[in-house]
């Protein structure tokens, strides 16, 4: 077992009376599938799987929350000096309600670790239908089990498609899931893990980050990602925090829209 370790985590609890297919059974299935694909691979790093409970209200962001308890209790048996980061998944099974962006996946926290961020950039080449957009961490995205790792300033990536129309309702059922998208996320994470592992595997001969090269995911990087999603020219001088806030608000309405509607909304409040 390698000293360096990577956490894969998602919560399994759901709101009473709701089937919880997207929130959050799809994410659990993704992580189990990733481990199934990796089980015959000899890894240099250690993978820790954490299936959290008590993520939903009324426990969210209380000391009873499963991921918060995990963080405190795990320090007794895991060495955080060798912690590579956490991959946290929530709401990963549905279509984003934007025309031609249905297969979008947001990977938040790319600025917390060059290695994690770069691994996602590499892994995108192994998925053909998934549209991956990396973003920086911010309090706006403290929506799930990523919170404790972000607040402790630990490397973390939060994988999500945002809120959907069926969140916390009896309509959160299996048939609403996009199974092809779920499969693509499985392969994205698998190849990301393998790329991270190659950074610490002397046998591979392939370094993720060449010696002395530590690319940072910064405001300019995020502007390019948001611009790619919106099909507009953005730079680091734009109010990226507010753009992210408006984008997530529009997506969470759950009503199918086109990019032009989002752009018009942003223009109306002078963000474009």
In a domain, 268, yes or no: no
The answer to whether residue 257 is domain-embedded is no
Q: Please check whether residue 258 lies inside any domain of the structure.
A: no
Q: What is the mean pLDDT of the chain?
A: 94
Strands 131-135 and 104-108 come out as parallel
pLDDT(209) > 90: no
Query: How many domains are there within the chain?
Result: 1
CB 32 within 8 A of CB 104: no
Strands 156-160 and 83-89: parallel
What number is the average pLDDT over the span 88-96?
98
Q: What is the pLDDT of residues 235-263, one digit of tens each?
A: 999 999 999 999 999 999 989 999 999 99
* Per-residue pLDDT band at 210 (split at 50, 70, 90): low
Confidence of residue 207 (pLDDT cuts 50, 70, 90): low
Look at residue 201 in the predicted model and tell me its pLDDT: 77
Token pair listed for 53: 């409970």
Q: Is residue 269 in some structural domain?
A: no
More confident site: 172 or 199: 172
pLDDT of 18 over the 70 cut: yes
Percentage of the chain lying above the pLDDT 90 cut: 92
Question: How many Å apart are CA 71 and CA 81, to the nearest integer?
Answer: 14
pLDDT of residue 248: 97
Higher pLDDT, residue 202 or 267: 267
* Residue 267 falls inside a structural domain: no
In a domain, 106, yes or no: yes
Residue 59's nearest CA partner among 15, 10, 108 is 15
Question: Is 97 among the domain residues?
Answer: yes
Q: What is the pLDDT of residue 214?
A: 59
How confident is the model at residue 157, as a pLDDT? 98
Q: Is residue 221 part of a domain?
A: no
User: What's the pLDDT tens digit per position in 109-162?
Assistant: 999 999 999 999 999 999 999 999 999 999 999 999 999 999 999 999 999 999
- Domain CATH for 29: 3.40.630.10
Rg (CA), the chain: 18
Mean pLDDT of 83-99: 98
Q: Which residue would you say has higher pLDDT here, 213 or 188?
A: 188
Helical packing angle, 240-252 and 259-268, nearest 10°: 130
pLDDT at 70 over 60: yes
In angstroms, rounded to a whole number, what is the distance separating the alpha carbons of residues 88 and 211?
28
Residue 37 is part of which domain span? 5-211
Q: What's the rounded mean pLDDT across residues 166-192?
A: 97
């Amino acid at each position: 077992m390698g000293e360096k370790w990577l956490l894969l985590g998602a919560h399994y609890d759901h709101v009473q009376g709701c089937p919880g297919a997207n929130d959050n059974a799809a994410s659990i299935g993704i992580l189990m599938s990733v481990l199934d694909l990796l089980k015959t691979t000899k890894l240099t790093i250690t993978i820790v799987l954490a299936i959290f409970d008590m993520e939903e209200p009324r426990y969210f962001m209380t000391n009873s929350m499963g991921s918060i308890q995990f963080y405190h209790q795990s320090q007794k048996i895991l060495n955080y000096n060798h912690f590579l980061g956490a991959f946290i998944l929530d709401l990963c099974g549905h279509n984003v309600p934007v025309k031609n962006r249905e297969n979008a996946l947001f990977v938040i926290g790319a600025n917390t670790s060059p290695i994690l961020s770069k691994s996602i950039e590499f892994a995108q080449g192994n998925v053909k239908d998934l549209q991956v957009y990396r973003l920086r961490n911010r309090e706006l995205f403290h929506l799930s089990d990523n919170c404790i790792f972000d607040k402790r300033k630990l490397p973390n990536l939060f994988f999500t498609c945002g809120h959907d129309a069926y969140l916390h309702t009896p309509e959160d059922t299996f048939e609403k899931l996009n199974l092809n998208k779920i499969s693509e996320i499985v392969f994205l994470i698998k190849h990301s893990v393998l790329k991270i592992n190659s950074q610490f595997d002397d046998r591979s001969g392939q370094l993720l980050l060449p010696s002395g090269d530590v690319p940072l995911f910064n405001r300019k990087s995020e502007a390019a990602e948001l611009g790619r999603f919106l099909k507009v020219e953005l730079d680091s001088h734009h109010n990226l925090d507010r753009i992210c806030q408006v984008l997530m608000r529009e997506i969470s309405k759950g009503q199918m829209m086109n990019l032009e509607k989002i752009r018009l909304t942003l223009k109306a409040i002078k963000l474009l």
